[in-house]
Amino acid sequence: MSKVFVTRKIDDAVIDELKKSFDVEVWDSEDEAVPRDVLLKKAKESHAILTMLSDQVDEELLAHASHLKVVANMAVGYDNIDVHAAEKAGIIVTNTPDVLTDTTADLAFALVLAAARRIPEAADYIKNGDWTSWSPYLLAGRDVHHKTLGIIGMGKIGQAVAKRAAGFDMNILYHTRSRKSEAEEQFGAQYKSLNDLLEKSDFVLVLAPLTNETRGMIGAEQFGQMKESAIFINAGRGPVVDEEALVDALENGEIAGAGLDVFEKEPISKDHPLLSMKNVVAVPHIGSASTETRFIMMKLAADNIKAVLNGEKPLTKVSG
Ligand code: DGY
Protein backbone atom coordinates (compact mmCIF):
# COMPACT_ATOMS: atom_id res chain seq x y z
CA MET A 1 0.00 0.00 0.00
CA SER A 2 1.37 3.44 -0.92
CA LYS A 3 2.45 5.61 1.99
CA VAL A 4 1.26 9.18 2.41
CA PHE A 5 2.72 11.62 4.94
CA VAL A 6 0.73 14.72 5.87
CA THR A 7 2.89 17.37 7.53
CA ARG A 8 0.19 19.01 9.69
CA LYS A 9 -3.11 18.11 11.31
CA ILE A 10 -5.80 18.67 8.69
CA ASP A 11 -9.52 17.89 8.58
CA ASP A 12 -10.38 14.33 9.63
CA ALA A 13 -12.73 13.93 6.67
CA VAL A 14 -9.84 14.53 4.25
CA ILE A 15 -7.55 12.13 6.11
CA ASP A 16 -10.28 9.46 6.32
CA GLU A 17 -10.81 9.68 2.57
CA LEU A 18 -7.07 9.20 1.95
CA LYS A 19 -7.01 6.29 4.41
CA LYS A 20 -9.49 4.37 2.24
CA SER A 21 -6.73 3.83 -0.33
CA PHE A 22 -3.41 4.57 1.35
CA ASP A 23 -1.33 4.07 4.46
CA VAL A 24 -1.55 7.58 5.92
CA GLU A 25 0.53 9.16 8.66
CA VAL A 26 -0.05 12.67 9.97
CA TRP A 27 2.25 15.01 11.91
CA ASP A 28 -0.49 15.56 14.44
CA SER A 29 -0.04 19.20 15.38
CA GLU A 30 -2.14 22.17 14.40
CA ASP A 31 0.41 24.81 15.23
CA GLU A 32 3.85 23.24 15.30
CA ALA A 33 5.60 22.58 12.00
CA VAL A 34 7.00 19.10 11.50
CA PRO A 35 10.68 19.07 12.60
CA ARG A 36 13.12 18.91 9.71
CA ASP A 37 14.59 15.52 10.68
CA VAL A 38 11.10 13.98 10.85
CA LEU A 39 10.17 15.48 7.48
CA LEU A 40 13.35 14.09 5.89
CA LYS A 41 12.72 10.64 7.34
CA LYS A 42 9.06 10.57 6.32
CA ALA A 43 9.79 11.88 2.81
CA LYS A 44 12.29 9.06 2.40
CA GLU A 45 9.68 6.44 3.30
CA SER A 46 6.66 7.95 1.54
CA HIS A 47 5.15 7.86 -1.93
CA ALA A 48 3.36 11.17 -1.38
CA ILE A 49 3.69 14.08 1.01
CA LEU A 50 1.04 16.70 1.66
CA THR A 51 3.01 19.81 2.63
CA MET A 52 2.43 23.30 4.03
CA LEU A 53 4.20 26.46 2.90
CA SER A 54 6.32 26.22 6.06
CA ASP A 55 7.91 22.92 4.90
CA GLN A 56 11.10 23.22 2.85
CA VAL A 57 11.11 20.68 0.04
CA ASP A 58 14.63 21.17 -1.28
CA GLU A 59 17.36 19.21 -3.03
CA GLU A 60 18.44 17.55 0.22
CA LEU A 61 14.94 16.20 0.87
CA LEU A 62 14.34 15.17 -2.74
CA ALA A 63 17.72 13.41 -3.04
CA HIS A 64 16.74 10.93 -0.34
CA ALA A 65 13.11 10.51 -1.33
CA SER A 66 13.51 7.56 -3.64
CA HIS A 67 9.85 6.40 -3.45
CA LEU A 68 8.32 9.86 -3.64
CA LYS A 69 5.97 10.45 -6.57
CA VAL A 70 4.13 13.61 -5.56
CA VAL A 71 4.46 16.64 -3.30
CA ALA A 72 1.05 18.25 -2.84
CA ASN A 73 1.47 21.73 -1.37
CA MET A 74 -1.53 23.15 0.46
CA ALA A 75 -1.01 26.67 -0.90
CA VAL A 76 -1.12 28.44 -4.21
CA GLY A 77 2.48 29.64 -3.69
CA TYR A 78 5.20 27.01 -3.95
CA ASP A 79 8.39 28.94 -3.28
CA ASN A 80 9.05 26.46 -0.44
CA ILE A 81 9.55 23.74 -3.05
CA ASP A 82 12.47 23.33 -5.44
CA VAL A 83 10.21 22.53 -8.39
CA HIS A 84 13.12 22.27 -10.79
CA ALA A 85 14.88 19.64 -8.64
CA ALA A 86 11.58 17.77 -8.20
CA GLU A 87 11.03 17.71 -11.96
CA LYS A 88 14.56 16.39 -12.46
CA ALA A 89 13.82 13.63 -9.95
CA GLY A 90 10.53 12.81 -11.73
CA ILE A 91 8.45 13.97 -8.75
CA ILE A 92 5.20 15.81 -9.46
CA VAL A 93 4.48 19.02 -7.53
CA THR A 94 0.94 20.32 -7.13
CA ASN A 95 -0.54 23.44 -5.53
CA THR A 96 -4.02 24.81 -4.73
CA PRO A 97 -4.76 27.60 -7.20
CA ASP A 98 -8.16 29.25 -7.85
CA VAL A 99 -9.92 27.85 -4.78
CA LEU A 100 -8.40 30.53 -2.53
CA THR A 101 -8.54 33.50 -4.90
CA ASP A 102 -11.56 35.31 -3.45
CA THR A 103 -10.68 34.55 0.18
CA THR A 104 -7.15 35.89 -0.24
CA ALA A 105 -8.42 38.94 -2.13
CA ASP A 106 -10.85 39.62 0.74
CA LEU A 107 -7.94 39.61 3.21
CA ALA A 108 -5.76 41.83 1.01
CA PHE A 109 -8.59 44.35 0.72
CA ALA A 110 -9.32 44.05 4.43
CA LEU A 111 -5.71 45.12 5.07
CA VAL A 112 -6.22 48.16 2.83
CA LEU A 113 -9.31 49.12 4.83
CA ALA A 114 -7.87 48.25 8.24
CA ALA A 115 -4.65 50.21 7.67
CA ALA A 116 -6.42 53.19 6.10
CA ARG A 117 -9.14 53.44 8.73
CA ARG A 118 -6.90 52.41 11.65
CA ILE A 119 -9.27 49.63 12.68
CA PRO A 120 -6.94 47.60 14.97
CA GLU A 121 -5.74 50.79 16.69
CA ALA A 122 -9.34 51.93 17.19
CA ALA A 123 -10.35 48.49 18.48
CA ASP A 124 -7.50 48.55 21.03
CA TYR A 125 -8.41 52.12 22.01
CA ILE A 126 -11.96 51.25 22.96
CA LYS A 127 -11.04 47.95 24.65
CA ASN A 128 -8.35 49.68 26.72
CA GLY A 129 -10.99 52.08 28.07
CA ASP A 130 -9.31 55.11 26.47
CA TRP A 131 -12.52 56.50 24.94
CA THR A 132 -13.54 59.45 27.09
CA SER A 133 -15.30 61.63 24.52
CA TRP A 134 -16.12 61.86 20.84
CA SER A 135 -13.85 64.33 19.08
CA PRO A 136 -13.61 65.48 15.46
CA TYR A 137 -10.27 63.94 14.64
CA LEU A 138 -10.40 61.00 17.01
CA LEU A 139 -8.64 58.12 15.21
CA ALA A 140 -9.25 59.79 11.87
CA GLY A 141 -7.78 57.70 9.09
CA ARG A 142 -7.66 58.02 5.32
CA ASP A 143 -10.29 57.42 2.71
CA VAL A 144 -10.11 54.35 0.52
CA HIS A 145 -12.90 55.21 -1.92
CA HIS A 146 -11.87 57.24 -4.97
CA LYS A 147 -8.17 56.77 -4.14
CA THR A 148 -5.55 55.12 -6.34
CA LEU A 149 -4.62 51.49 -5.72
CA GLY A 150 -1.43 50.16 -7.34
CA ILE A 151 -1.35 46.37 -7.59
CA ILE A 152 2.05 44.73 -8.13
CA GLY A 153 1.43 41.18 -9.36
CA MET A 154 -1.85 41.04 -11.26
CA GLY A 155 -2.54 37.31 -11.18
CA LYS A 156 -5.94 35.92 -10.27
CA ILE A 157 -5.80 37.29 -6.73
CA GLY A 158 -4.71 40.72 -8.00
CA GLN A 159 -7.64 40.78 -10.40
CA ALA A 160 -10.03 39.74 -7.64
CA VAL A 161 -8.71 42.65 -5.55
CA ALA A 162 -9.22 44.95 -8.54
CA LYS A 163 -12.86 43.84 -8.66
CA ARG A 164 -13.29 44.79 -5.00
CA ALA A 165 -11.47 48.09 -5.52
CA ALA A 166 -13.72 48.95 -8.47
CA GLY A 167 -16.67 48.60 -6.09
CA PHE A 168 -15.04 51.27 -3.92
CA ASP A 169 -14.69 53.59 -6.95
CA MET A 170 -10.92 53.31 -6.76
CA ASN A 171 -8.61 54.19 -9.59
CA ILE A 172 -6.66 50.99 -10.29
CA LEU A 173 -3.08 50.80 -11.57
CA TYR A 174 -1.17 47.57 -11.98
CA HIS A 175 2.26 46.27 -12.80
CA THR A 176 2.84 42.66 -13.72
CA ARG A 177 4.72 40.48 -16.24
CA SER A 178 2.00 40.48 -18.89
CA ARG A 179 -0.91 42.83 -19.46
CA LYS A 180 -4.36 41.74 -18.32
CA SER A 181 -6.83 43.07 -20.87
CA GLU A 182 -9.79 41.63 -18.95
CA ALA A 183 -8.95 43.65 -15.83
CA GLU A 184 -8.42 46.71 -18.03
CA GLU A 185 -11.83 46.28 -19.66
CA GLN A 186 -13.81 45.18 -16.61
CA PHE A 187 -12.34 47.34 -13.85
CA GLY A 188 -10.63 50.13 -15.77
CA ALA A 189 -7.24 48.96 -14.46
CA GLN A 190 -4.32 50.73 -16.12
CA TYR A 191 -1.00 49.06 -16.80
CA LYS A 192 1.96 51.12 -15.52
CA SER A 193 5.69 50.80 -15.18
CA LEU A 194 6.74 50.01 -11.60
CA ASN A 195 8.11 53.54 -11.16
CA ASP A 196 4.92 55.14 -12.36
CA LEU A 197 2.77 52.94 -10.15
CA LEU A 198 4.87 53.69 -7.05
CA GLU A 199 4.74 57.43 -7.64
CA LYS A 200 1.00 57.64 -8.29
CA SER A 201 -0.57 55.17 -5.85
CA ASP A 202 -2.19 55.98 -2.51
CA PHE A 203 -2.11 52.27 -1.70
CA VAL A 204 0.66 50.03 -3.03
CA LEU A 205 -0.33 46.37 -2.83
CA VAL A 206 2.19 43.59 -3.42
CA LEU A 207 0.80 40.23 -4.52
CA ALA A 208 3.70 39.05 -6.66
CA PRO A 209 4.87 35.46 -6.10
CA LEU A 210 8.38 34.93 -4.74
CA THR A 211 10.81 34.13 -7.56
CA ASN A 212 14.45 34.99 -8.30
CA GLU A 213 13.17 38.05 -10.15
CA THR A 214 10.85 39.35 -7.43
CA ARG A 215 13.04 38.70 -4.36
CA GLY A 216 13.78 42.09 -2.77
CA MET A 217 12.06 44.00 -5.61
CA ILE A 218 10.59 46.53 -3.15
CA GLY A 219 13.44 48.18 -1.26
CA ALA A 220 14.71 51.59 -0.14
CA GLU A 221 14.62 53.05 -3.65
CA GLN A 222 11.03 51.94 -4.22
CA PHE A 223 9.81 53.21 -0.83
CA GLY A 224 11.50 56.50 -1.67
CA GLN A 225 9.38 56.75 -4.80
CA MET A 226 6.08 56.31 -2.96
CA LYS A 227 3.96 59.22 -1.74
CA GLU A 228 4.52 60.21 1.90
CA SER A 229 0.82 59.51 2.40
CA ALA A 230 1.04 56.05 0.81
CA ILE A 231 -0.01 52.91 2.62
CA PHE A 232 1.98 49.82 1.68
CA ILE A 233 0.30 46.39 1.74
CA ASN A 234 2.02 43.02 1.31
CA ALA A 235 -0.23 39.97 0.92
CA GLY A 236 2.10 38.02 -1.40
CA ARG A 237 5.37 36.79 0.03
CA GLY A 238 7.59 38.47 2.65
CA PRO A 239 10.96 38.25 0.86
CA VAL A 240 9.63 40.23 -2.11
CA VAL A 241 10.15 43.20 0.21
CA ASP A 242 13.33 44.36 1.91
CA GLU A 243 11.91 44.47 5.44
CA GLU A 244 14.68 46.63 6.85
CA ALA A 245 13.98 49.21 4.17
CA LEU A 246 10.28 49.03 5.03
CA VAL A 247 11.02 49.71 8.71
CA ASP A 248 13.24 52.67 7.72
CA ALA A 249 10.59 54.07 5.36
CA LEU A 250 7.97 53.92 8.12
CA GLU A 251 10.31 55.36 10.76
CA ASN A 252 11.44 58.19 8.50
CA GLY A 253 7.91 59.08 7.37
CA GLU A 254 8.64 58.18 3.74
CA ILE A 255 5.33 56.32 3.73
CA ALA A 256 2.34 56.63 6.06
CA GLY A 257 1.59 53.06 7.06
CA ALA A 258 1.55 49.40 6.19
CA GLY A 259 -0.70 46.35 6.22
CA LEU A 260 1.19 43.07 6.26
CA ASP A 261 0.09 39.45 6.00
CA VAL A 262 3.54 38.10 5.14
CA PHE A 263 7.06 38.62 6.47
CA GLU A 264 10.65 38.00 5.51
CA LYS A 265 10.95 35.36 8.23
CA GLU A 266 7.80 33.61 9.43
CA PRO A 267 6.76 33.46 12.17
CA ILE A 268 7.98 37.02 12.81
CA SER A 269 9.54 37.57 16.22
CA LYS A 270 7.33 39.45 18.68
CA ASP A 271 10.15 41.96 19.22
CA HIS A 272 10.31 42.90 15.55
CA PRO A 273 10.19 46.72 15.15
CA LEU A 274 7.24 46.46 12.71
CA LEU A 275 5.03 45.04 15.46
CA SER A 276 5.47 48.02 17.76
CA MET A 277 4.46 50.60 15.14
CA LYS A 278 0.97 52.03 15.51
CA ASN A 279 0.67 52.60 11.78
CA VAL A 280 1.33 48.95 10.93
CA VAL A 281 -1.46 46.40 10.75
CA ALA A 282 0.13 42.97 10.92
CA VAL A 283 -1.58 39.57 10.66
CA PRO A 284 0.05 36.11 10.64
CA HIS A 285 -0.14 34.94 7.00
CA ILE A 286 -3.89 34.32 7.03
CA GLY A 287 -4.62 35.28 3.42
CA SER A 288 -6.51 32.11 2.57
CA ALA A 289 -7.58 31.34 6.14
CA SER A 290 -11.33 30.93 6.08
CA THR A 291 -12.56 27.57 7.32
CA GLU A 292 -14.42 27.00 4.04
CA THR A 293 -11.42 27.73 1.83
CA ARG A 294 -8.90 25.90 3.98
CA PHE A 295 -11.08 22.77 3.79
CA ILE A 296 -11.26 23.03 0.00
CA MET A 297 -7.46 23.50 -0.14
CA MET A 298 -6.91 20.39 2.01
CA LYS A 299 -9.24 18.39 -0.19
CA LEU A 300 -7.63 19.57 -3.41
CA ALA A 301 -4.16 18.67 -2.09
CA ALA A 302 -5.45 15.20 -1.12
CA ASP A 303 -7.20 14.75 -4.48
CA ASN A 304 -3.91 15.54 -6.23
CA ILE A 305 -2.21 12.81 -4.20
CA LYS A 306 -4.99 10.35 -4.97
CA ALA A 307 -4.77 11.08 -8.69
CA VAL A 308 -1.00 10.67 -8.92
CA LEU A 309 -0.84 7.52 -6.77
CA ASN A 310 -3.67 6.01 -8.83
CA GLY A 311 -1.72 6.70 -12.00
CA GLU A 312 -3.99 9.51 -13.13
CA LYS A 313 -3.25 13.09 -14.15
CA PRO A 314 -2.93 15.47 -11.18
CA LEU A 315 -5.56 18.20 -11.03
CA THR A 316 -3.29 21.17 -10.43
CA LYS A 317 0.31 20.41 -11.30
CA VAL A 318 2.92 23.17 -11.25
CA SER A 319 6.00 23.31 -13.41
CA GLY A 320 9.35 24.96 -12.79
C1 DGY B 1 -0.80 30.63 -0.44
O2 DGY B 1 -1.63 29.72 -0.59
O3 DGY B 1 0.24 30.68 -1.09
C4 DGY B 1 -1.15 31.68 0.54
O5 DGY B 1 -0.06 32.47 0.85
C6 DGY B 1 -1.75 31.06 1.79
O7 DGY B 1 -2.42 32.00 2.55
Instruction: Give the model confidence (pLDDT) of 248-289 as tens digits.
Output: 999 999 999 999 999 999 999 999 999 999 999 999 999 999
Q: Whose CA is nearest to atom 4 of ligand 1?
A: 75
In a domain, 67, yes or no: yes
Q: Are residues 169 and 238 in the same domain?
A: yes
Q: Is the CB of 7 under 6 A from ligand 1?
A: no
Query: Probe ligand 1: pick from 93, 94, 95, 100, max atoms within 8 Å of CB?
Result: 100
In a domain, 79, yes or no: yes
Q: At what angle do helices 156-167 and 101-116 cross, to 10 degrees?
A: 50
Cα(295) to ligand 1 centroid in Å equals 13
Cα(80) to ligand 1 centroid in Å equals 11
Q: Are residues 111 and 86 in the same domain?
A: no
Q: Determine which one of 47, 175, 285, 294 is catalytic.
A: 285
Mean model confidence pLDDT for the chain: 97
Q: Are residues 132 and 212 in the same domain?
A: yes
Q: Is the CB of 288 under 6 A from ligand 1?
A: yes
Q: Are residues 159 and 234 in the same domain?
A: yes
Q: Are residues 29 and 135 in the same domain?
A: no
Q: Which domain holds residue 213?
A: 101-282
Task: Identify any residues that bridge with 148 across adjacent strands, giving them in sequence order.
Answer: 171
Query: What confidence tier does 28 reach under pLDDT thresholds 50, 70, 90?
Result: confident
In a domain, 314, yes or no: no
Atom of ligand 1 nearest to the CA of 96: 2
Cα(131) to ligand 1 centroid in Å equals 37
Is 285 a residue of the active site? yes
Q: Are residues 250 and 300 in the same domain?
A: no
Q: Is the CB of 75 under 6 A from ligand 1?
A: yes
Task: Identify any residues that bridge with 94 across adjacent strands, giving them in sequence order.
Answer: 72, 317
Q: Are residues 75 and 165 in the same domain?
A: no
Atom of ligand 1 nearest to the CA of 297: 2
CB burial readout 73-100, b (16+ within 10 A) else e = bbbbbbbbbbbebbeeeebbbbbbbebb
Query: What confidence tier does 29 reach under pLDDT thresholds 50, 70, 90?
Result: confident
Is 266 a residue of the active site? yes
- Provide the pairing of β-strand 190-191 with 171-175: parallel
Q: Determine which one of 8, 164, 175, 237 is catalytic.
A: 237
Q: Are residues 29 and 130 in the same domain?
A: no
Do 72 and 86 touch, CB atoms closer than 8 A? no
Give 161-208 pLDDT, tens digit per residue.
Answer: 999 999 999 999 999 999 999 999 999 999 999 999 999 999 999 999
In a domain, 195, yes or no: yes
Which amino acid is it at 218? I
In a domain, 162, yes or no: yes
Predicted local confidence at residue 30, as pLDDT: 80
Is 36 a residue of the active site? no
Q: Are residues 22 and 168 in the same domain?
A: no
Q: Whose CA is nearest to atom 3 of ligand 1?
A: 77
Predicted local confidence at residue 320, as pLDDT: 72
| CATH code, 86 | 3.40.50.720
SS3 30: coil
Longest dimension (CA), the chain: 69
In a domain, 315, yes or no: no
Q: Are residues 209 and 226 in the same domain?
A: yes
Q: Are residues 200 and 246 in the same domain?
A: yes
Query: Probe ligand 1: pick from 50, 74, 76, 292, max atoms within 8 Å of CB?
Result: 76
User: pTM value?
Assistant: 0.96
In a domain, 319, yes or no: no
| Residues 204, 235: Cα–Cα separation, whole Å | 11
Q: Are residues 230 and 110 in the same domain?
A: yes
User: Based on the structure, what is the number of domains in the chain?
Assistant: 2
Dihedral sign, Cα of residue 93, residue 162, residue 106, residue 199: positive
Predicted local confidence at residue 115, as pLDDT: 98
In a domain, 317, yes or no: no
